Chains A and B, each alone.
Chain A
Amino acid sequence: MSWILVNPILIPLVTAVLAYLFRTSPAGRWISVAGTVVLLFASLILMGEVLEHGVIAGQMSNWQAPFGITLVADYLGGVMVVITAITAMATVIYTLAEIPERLERLGFHALLQVLVAAVCGAFLTGDLFNLYVWFEVMLISSFGLLVLGGSKEQLDGGIKYVTLNLVSTIMFLSGIGLLYGITGTLNMADLHLAVREVENAGLLTTIAVMFMVAFGVKAALFPLFFWLPASYHTPPVAVSAIFAGLLTKVGVYALIRSFTLIFDQDVTFTHTILLWLAVATMVTGVLGAAAMNDFRRILSFHIISQIGYMVLGLALFTPLGLVGAVFYLVHHIIVKANLFFVAGVAKRIGGSTDLSRLGGLYAHAPLLAFLFLIPAFSLAGFPPLSGFWAKYVVVKAALDLEMWFVAGASLAVGLLTIYSMTKIWGAAFWPKHPDGIKPRLGDLPAGERVALMAPIVGLAVLTCIIGLFPEPFVQFAETSAEQLLDPTAYVTTVLGVQP
């Protein structure tokens, strides 16, 4: 059992080592591709086990919980690992056509694989300190990817990124120290029981808010999101795509995990803060996007606004709200990574990501235009795409609680999302290219064309499947929400005893 849990962490790590040692030959990049394929199989096997048993846990190095490091996969953790593997595979295939040999020689693929290992580790760990370690590994490898190549613009974005994230890390570590001080354990399942015996409830709430700030920076919540739009448009497109898909979601995942499993004492206080932060995040994100004039910058601001929806689902703290949060998390990773891929192809054939320097994509690359519409409409919440169901569930959950203002705000944000998508469409796809370039997909070499388009097509198909057949996915999200709201199965599986 425990090996199934370790595989998604171990496979990218071993791939990283091999890809690094072969970085000067073409073998390196193919090792990276093969690694993600194996990772996808391993994650599917893990998901199969989770579907069969509900929650599975493994004790590393045979030290029993709560003393050793526990890896746990429940429905949420399992599906996040699968989606990570899918995104990683799409990204690595995309890099085949995008990343120059110069970056490969510097160890690009190794850094990417270490990032994937860290993300999987964060989704699977059942220990707070271990989560902190994965956050650090993630920060270091993502910083490496941001500045690799070392252009001035990249360093500028990278420094902002690493500085603000270090603040979050310090906050997280202090929170862990305080929590350990009052409970004496860091195993999350054990914490679920231990916090119930803490007498000083006020101190616990304070710690909860520290965690909220720490994970809020990672998830790019209002008002802590400044690092994201400052850095995401600078690195190679494949890197922005995997960052956009996965990194902020790890923060959201950590928020969901800690504020359902550990900090569910003072819900009226903590979750009300989360609620208003979520609304503010949605609104500022979408307004920021409306003000931008660059393909990737618009998309970066949209990440922030969409994060608001997920946190809103958590903040409502009803079964339906959490269903929405889980569904949104999965849908958004697929859609957002895909939009960044499209932006990359547009840059490749049109010469820029600046909207005023783009054009003619609809006339000369209709396939790309069509493939842009699918994730763009899905992001805005058009039926029958996946985004419609995600938004629908979250808004329904808000309406059920008679929170008219919150529901109204999230609908208005959806409308503004369409506005900035049409802005991209109106500038990059409809008009003639300002420099008279004819951006044709056919002008790319055949191999590169396949490597660039295959991930986009694959992810678009996935969005359509979720949109057209939402039933099993919603059921899955429902079971996942049940597990989150009643963590008895989680706790008993990890600790091996009845609480």
Chain B
Amino acid sequence: MQSLILTTATRLLVALLLVFSIYALLRGHNLPGGGFIGGLIGATGFILYVIATSVSDARSALRVDPTNIAMLGVGIAALSGIMGAFAGDPFLTGQWLFLFAAEGEKGLPLSSVLVFDVGVYLAVFGGILTLVFAMEEEI
């Protein structure tokens, strides 16, 4: 089905959904959100694109094979867990780096927790798109 309204709206919505998915990912540290929901929202963007155009268009827009994205995500999540080893902590222990920290100032906190979330984001994003692309192609 080709709908002019849908195709036009999709061009705007896909970009919005992708930005919103990153927002949900970053917000997830202390508030509702995170890698899983972020990945789902991001995948929704491309699913919309599939509905409006076709799977082959969506594949070329994504550029990378979604299964590769998913496996990369698993790898990144595993790596974030391994980071704990360098500090002598157990697997998956959160590691923190405070940039520009001063007296009474925390500075800019960076953590391996975010890296883990990014891994989850990519794994969910890639996994969902693999499934949806495969099913749409079957139909």
- Please report A residues at the B interface, Cβ cutoff 8 Å: 2-3, 6, 10, 13-14, 16-18, 20-21, 58-62, 107, 110
Contacts and interface: CB of A to CB of B under 8 A. Distances in A.
B82 to A, nearest CB: 7
B91 A13 contact: no
Interface in B64-98: 67-68, 71-72, 74-75, 78, 81-82, 84-85, 89-94
Contacts of B92: 60-61
Given A10-B78, A10-B81, A21 B89 contact: no
A17 B71 CA distance: 5
Contacts of A107: 67
A3 B90 contact: yes
Contacts of B85: 3
Contact of A16 (B68, B74, B81, B93): B74
A22 to B, nearest CB: 11
Interface of B: 67-68, 71-72, 74-75, 78, 81-82, 84-85, 89-94
Given A3-B90, A6-B91, A61-B94, A14 B67 contact: no
Which one of A20, A60, A61 has the greatest number of beta carbons of chain B within 10 Å? A61
Given A16-B71, A20-B68, A21-B72, A3 B78 contact: no
Identify whether the interface residues of A are mostly helix, strand, loop, or mixed: helix
A369 B73 CA distance: 47
A6 B81 CA distance: 10
A13 B76 CA distance: 11
Identify whether the interface residues of B are mostly helix, strand, loop, or mixed: helix
B39 to A, nearest CB: 17
Contacts of B74: 13, 16-17
A14 B76 CA distance: 10
A107 B74 CA distance: 15
B71 A110 contact: yes
Q: Which 3 A-B pairs have the closest CB atoms?
A: A17-B75, A61-B92, A2-B90
Contacts of B94: 61
Contacts of B91: 2-3, 6, 10, 58, 60-61
Nearest to A107: B67
Nearest to A110: B71
A10 B82 contact: yes
A2 B89 CA distance: 9
B82 A61 contact: no
Contacts of A20: 67-68, 71
B90 A21 contact: no
A61 B67 contact: no
Given A17-B71, A17-B74, A18-B75, 11 more contacts: A6-B81, A13-B74, A17-B72, A17-B78, A21-B68, A59-B90, A61-B84, A61-B90, A61-B91, A61-B93, A62-B93
